[in-house]
Amino acid sequence: LEEGLGRSEDPLVTAILKIESGWLHFRHQELDRSLELLHEAERAVRAHDVRVWRMRALDCLWGPLESLGRGDEAMPLLAEALELAVDLRDAVWEQRIRVHLGFRMIRAGTPGRARPYVDRAIAMARMIGDPYMEAVAPWATTRRQGSGCRRS
């Protein structure tokens, strides 16, 4: 990815590579670099009005922000990403974003608000046959004892 970033002359291709690279840096907990790349990518895809990649960039920003203790900054980004996913009819990203929203709400101390997001994500996972997300969504809500979101 880094090699591709260095060679790309197309700003949109560069933005897409930054999204992928930014998520990879997040996974390696290189949070400052992750945020830098993802913010740059989000601005570029917004300027080019490429909604599917904007949705992905907005969702990916959640990870490093949450890890840095700045999850509240991710809420409007996730809300915008969810609107885009619904509008684009992208079930895979919609379920992912819904789980991230639910997890953020639980971390923020509002687990009751998380349940509709997580329940819809679970239903979508079953509908599209995604056993991983079907397992992850309930885990995100049962992570805390007494969260009020536990599935029966």
- One digit per residue, the tens of pLDDT, for the chain of length 152 reads 677 667 878 899 999 999 999 999 999 999 999 999 999 999 999 999 999 999 999 999 999 999 999 999 999 999 999 999 999 999 999 999 999 999 999 889 998 899 899 999 999 999 999 998 888 888 766 654 344 443 33
Question: How far is residue 68's CA from residue 31's CA, in Å, rounded to a whole number?
Answer: 7
Taking Cα atoms as reference points, which of 38, 84, 36 lies closest to residue 60?
38
Give the predicted TM-score (pTM) of the model: 0.86
Q: Is 31 exposed, middle or buried (0-12, 13-18, 19+ CB in 10 A)?
A: middle
- Identify the CA nearest to 90 among candidates 48, 130, 33: 130
Model pLDDT, residue 146: 45
45-62 pLDDT, tens digit per residue, is 999 999 999 999 999 999
Q: What is the pLDDT of residue 91?
A: 95
The closest alpha carbon to 44, from 62, 20, 77, 18, belongs to: 18
